[in-house]
A and B are shown apart, each in its own frame.
Chain A
């Protein structure tokens, strides 16, 4: 399907978003064919250019080697532009005049203070679609709150229903409401583009990450209203299925999940575990009985799972028609045969780093096109000149912008870059000792088949 036409061919996106949610949104738009031009400033790089540095080696130019940044900015173009300078804002205005969509994730009012609020942009481009992603939205008493992803999942209420029974609320091991709200941002922009195709009208989208995630709390919110009970933390169990849980398998810290929602499914599970008599046992015969004797049932299931590989548990139970899955770590997900068969990871050829896997952000597969990473993630300011030329700047004008530090292709740092690079090197040897890391494979590129 190379060279196939894409749904957003010809759509240009001015991407002033940073970190995680906004870039996840524009990564989807880029994968769908939009020309996404992102912006950073030399004095305040996207902080994710400091995160998960390739090989954790303390080497210089860490901002070109940060995997966290690369994964969600693949296929975009980038300028480094000083928005505090009028000439910098002028570049944005010229670009907006030729753009369809603006996505930004500053705290509220920053864009307006730059003279780049929706009302100002609409004067330049009447049908512009602008999407602001923020932690708590553009209005309300908490609008100016600083917001990180690790705080927004709890702020949406989800952590109050996540945790071991009787234990404290727990965050997910990764900030998933960030990409979740980014995905919603992509859908919101596509909805606005649909409306613009019909009517020619643009509009403004206010997306609060806290609000975007609250629908995941719907059952809990309604339980509170309908029963007066505040929903409890159930661990891996469910009000709708029994048995349901996460069961230890053979090997070091290997696990599989199993979920059985009806009696027929329980009989199939019992058969697959070579204990058909469980299905007739009155303690386990109905979902209510199984819930009552869940601990005892879990002990029996664990007896079966604990001597088996988690993938064996998965395939054996699925073959019997029982919902199950292995609990995958960051290595296993790259090698899983289903993810491989469906190309969940694209390999991009990243400057300085060679071939690297980046996951799909739009998980949907299509027959007419592929929503895949369109190329490498941009180096800092990689497309400064290219974009300026498209806007009609000539050599002299570009040189002036360089001399006046309106554009840049390196960060301006108050201390030597090497010093920061060393500070970003995490003590992985100690992390291994403490069990924060499981292992480090020196030959990972060979294993992945991406060695040079």
Chain B
């Protein structure tokens, strides 16, 4: 077998849903041996779908298939003592133990860091929870929505007179998953350099708040509190999604799109795009603050151009003028996208019901150790190999454990 980035790293993963499994997917796709330990009724992402033809099937949930590539899978009820005994045998040979439970639950199961550290001093316990393992909200429950609410990003997303909007696609979960993954790698680096295991404690709310671009900074450096205003940035309008002839584009003038006092004798790229050099004299072209407060006037000024051109025409012309405009693709557009196709971004995995599924590829490319995707495991597929071959149980034990509902 070829040497992969994380070959030899052994991970036992009891997390469910999105955040924890995404972290361990990134480890598994990089070559770590990730043993996914599901409760006997399965990871709850198996119930989230989407499903082929909308028919629920725990082996065909799209989210599960995406989030659990390259892992081995076994079932084990770690909430009961007999399951905990087996889990601890697995932890004896593991480098990393991943959990998505809150601390009170881990403590009840005897799996909190303080419980594990004496027996497993070199083990890294990586825990992702809605608000973190410590602090006054440690026992509170949450998800991507609560994380985005705490992050400040949601407060500034949407229209001023309507409710704040959460960003689609459960980004709070993915932010937490990525932060957990980085935290695990940091703890591994520390173990290699300075020795010893660790408790990596990631709060979904903090992971989302770490992505705050400048809301907290505006208060901490200016005392200013931004309000929700069509999701617009404080330092520049439009930088926003606008309708065009066949859909939407992101209109981004960039640092040098409008007339610049640094280049007084040139025609601005925005005026060139709109084919009217007189626009450079307009106060809305000359001053950002003017555009910001008179945005309806600006919209009226740009609408005739946008509404008569396609997204492709607008973006290509703008990019030629060094204006960093962008497309607003849908899921279907992405699947058919030429740029992504030329980069061979998407991966194809066998669909449980036959055929293939297209899933997102690696979020980064490594020249020596490219990430590689193998299909997600069926529920309990590794029960026998792990219990018989690795832990030395015999077949009758398996029957007993199965009858007791432990596996």
| A–B pairs, 22, beta carbons within 8 Å | A7-B189, A152-B326, A155-B326, A157-B330, A172-B153, A172-B231, A173-B158, A173-B228, A183-B179, A183-B182, A190-B189, A192-B5, A206-B367, A217-B331, A327-B155, A330-B155, A330-B216, A358-B217, A360-B210, A367-B198, A438-B227, A439-B225
Neighbour of B132 across the interface among A188, A332, A365, A438, CB < 8 A? A365
Q: Smallest distance from the beta carbon of A341 to chain B beta carbons, Å?
A: 4
Q: Smallest CB–CB gap between A279 and chain B, Å?
A: 18
Bound state CA distance, A175 and B293, in angstroms?
21
CB contact list, B222-277 vs A, under 8 A: 222-229, 231-235, 239-241, 243, 248, 250, 252, 254-255, 261-263
Interface residue range, chain A: 35 or more
Asked if A328 meets B149 with Cβ closer than 8 Å, knowing A174-B214, A203-B366, the reply is yes
Interface string of B112-141 (1 = CB under 8 A from A): 010000000000000000111111110011
Contact between A170 and B145, CB atoms less than 8 A apart = no
Which residue of B149, B193, B357, B364 contacts A7 across the interface (Cβ within 8 Å)? Answer: B193
Distance in angstroms from A220 CB to nearest chain B CB is 4
Please judge, given known A-B contacts A150-B233, A439-B225, whether A257 and B326 are in contact too, CB under 8 Å: no
Considering the chains assembled together, what is the distance between the CA atoms of A426 and B176 in angstroms? 34
Does B206 have its Cβ within 8 Å of any Cβ on chain A?
yes
Q: Please name the 7 residue pairs, one residue from A and one from B, whose CB atoms are nearest each other, closest first.
A: A173-B156, A151-B326, A364-B183, A222-B62, A444-B223, A330-B215, A161-B168
B149:A222 contact, CB within 8 angstroms: no
How many inter-chain contacts with C-beta < 8 Å in the A-B complex? 605
Closest to A341 in B: B135
Q: Is there contact, CB below 8 Å, between B364 and A173?
A: no
**Of B72-80, B81-89, B333-341, B384-392, the one touching chain A:** B333-341
Is the beta-carbon distance between B213 and A179 smaller than 8 angstroms?
yes
* Nearest CB in chain A to that of B162: its residue: A164
Known: A205-B365, A211-B343. A151 touches B324 (CB 8 A): yes
A114 within 8 A of B: no
Q: Once the chains bind, are B357 and A222 in contact (CB under 8 Å)?
A: yes
Chain A residues lying within 8 Å of B166, measured Cβ to Cβ, are 162, 236, 246, 257
A141-B342, A190-B186, A218-B62 are contacts. A436–B220 as well, Cβ < 8 Å?
A: no
Q: CB distance A364 to B216 under 8 Å?
A: no
| Contact present for B66 and A222 (CB under 8 Å) | yes
Could you mark each residue 44-71 of chain B with 1 if its beta carbon is under 8 Å from any beta carbon of chain A, else 0?
0000111111100000001101110000
* Shortest beta-carbon distance from B396 to chain A in Å: 37
Cβ of B24 within 8 Å of any chain A Cβ, yes or no, is no
Asked whether A218 and B167 contact (CB < 8 A) given A187-B178, A415-B262, A423-B261, the answer is no
Residues of A within 8 A of B402 (CB): none
Q: Which of B131, B196, B211, B217 contacts A338 (CB 8 A)?
A: B131
Main SS of chain A's interface residues?
A: mixed
- Does B214 lie within 8 Å of A180, measured CB to CB? no
The answer to whether A326 has its CB under 8 Å from any CB of chain B is: yes
Q: Does A393 contact B (CB under 8 A)?
A: no
* CB within 8 Å for A154 and B326 given contacts A223-B331, A414-B262: yes
Flag if B216 contacts A368 (CB, 8 Å): no
CB within 8 Å of A: which B317-364 residues: 319, 322-335, 338-340, 342-343, 345, 357-364
Asked if A174 and B66 sit within 8 Å, CB to CB, the answer is no
Bound CA span A332–B216, Å: 9
Residues of B within 8 A of A345 (CB): 216, 220
Q: How far is the CA of A427 from the CA of B404 in the complex (A)?
A: 69
Interface pair B231/A224, CB less than 8 Å apart: no
Q: Contacts A154-B250, A175-B213, A431-B292 known; A342 to B227 CB distance under 8 Å? A: no
B37 at the interface (CB under 8 A from A): no
B40 contacts partner chain A, Cβ-Cβ < 8 Å: no
Residues of A within 8 A of B167 (CB): 158, 162, 172, 176
Asked if A289 is at the interface (CB within 8 A of a chain B CB), the reply is no
Q: Which residue of B lies closest to A420 (CB)?
A: B261
User: Does B91 belong to the interface (CB within 8 Å)?
Assistant: no
Which of B160, B218, B342 lies at the interface centre, i.e. has the most chain A CB atoms within 10 A of its CB? B218
- Residue among A118, A359, A440 facing the most chain B CB atoms (10 A cut-off): A359
B406 is an interface residue with CB less than 8 A from chain A? no
Q: Do residues B192 and A197 form an inter-chain contact, with CB atoms below 8 A?
A: yes
Q: Is A194 touching B189 in the complex (CB atoms < 8 A)?
A: yes
Q: Which residues of A contact B206 (CB under 8 A)?
A: 339, 342, 344, 360, 363
Residues 164-192 of chain B: 1 if any A CB is under 8 Å from the residue's CB, otherwise 0? 11111111001110111111011111101
- Against B, the Cβ 8 Å flags (1 = close, 0 = not) of A339-354 are 1011011000000010
In the docked arrangement, what's the CA distance between A150 and B252, Å? 8
What does the 1/0 interface line of A208-252 toward B look like (CB < 8 Å)?
Answer: 101111111111111111110011011110111100111110000
CA distance in complex: A178, B270 (Å): 24
**What B residues does A8 contact at CB under 8 A?**
186, 189
Q: How far is the CA of A237 from the CA of B103 in the complex (A)?
A: 28
Complex Cα distance, B288 from A341, in Å, reads 39
- Let me know if B178 and A142 touch, CB within 8 A: no
Q: A55-B221, A367-B199, A368-B194 are in contact. Are A325 and B187 (CB under 8 A)?
A: no
Q: Mark A41-69, 1 if CB is under 8 A from B, else 0.
A: 00000010001101110000000000110
Beta-carbon contacts under 8 Å, A1-46 to B = 5-10, 20, 28, 32
- Given A227-B50, A369-B190, A440-B222, are A145 and B324 neighbors across the interface (CB < 8 Å)? yes
Residue in A201, A221, A430 whose CB lies within 8 Å of B331: A221
Bin chain B's interface residue count: 35 or more
Q: Give the contacting residue for B335; candidates A188, A221, A248, A433; CB below 8 A.
A: A221
A164-B165, A363-B209 given; 5 more Cβ-contact pairs under 8 Å: A212-B363, A221-B360, A227-B53, A322-B141, A357-B220
Cβ-defined partner of B186 (8 Å) among A230, A253, A371 = A371
Residue of B nearest to A430 (CB): B293
- Cβ-defined contact, B154 with A173, below 8 A: yes
B205 contacts chain A at the CB level, 8 A cutoff: yes
Asked if A140 lies at the interface with its beta carbon under 8 angstroms from chain B, I say yes
Contact of B222 among A55, A193, A238, A368 (CB under 8 A): A55
Chain A residue contacts of B367, Cβ below 8 A = 118, 203-206
A256–B252 CA distance with the chains assembled, in angstroms: 32
Tell me the bound Cα distance from A386 to B52 in angstroms: 61
B200 interface residue (CB < 8 Å to A): yes
Q: Do B199 and A214 touch across chains, with their CB atoms under 8 A apart?
A: no
Contact A170 B326 (CB under 8 A): no
Report which residue of A56, A224, A433 has the largest number of chain B beta carbons within 10 angstroms of its beta carbon.
Answer: A224
Residue numbers in B under 8 Å from A361 (CB-CB): 210
Q: Which of B6, B199, B202, B217 has the most CB of A within 10 A?
A: B217
Q: B149–A325 contact, CB under 8 A?
A: yes
Partner of B261, one of A190, A359, A371, A419: A419
Which residues of the partner chain A approach B196 to less than 8 Å between Cβ atoms? 368
B207 contacts the other chain (Cβ, under 8 Å)? yes
Given contacts A170-B165, A208-B343, A330-B219, contact A221 B5 (CB under 8 A): no
B7, B162, B364, B368: the one within 8 Å of A212 (CB): B364
Determine the chain A residues whose CB is within 8 A of the CB of B360 once the complex forms: 211, 214-215, 217-218, 221
A439 to B180: give the CA distance in the assembly, Å.
Answer: 35
Whether A163 sits at the interface, judged by CB under 8 Å, is yes
Contact check, B225 vs A339: say whether CB atoms are below 8 A apart: no
| A80 close to B (CB within 8 Å) | no
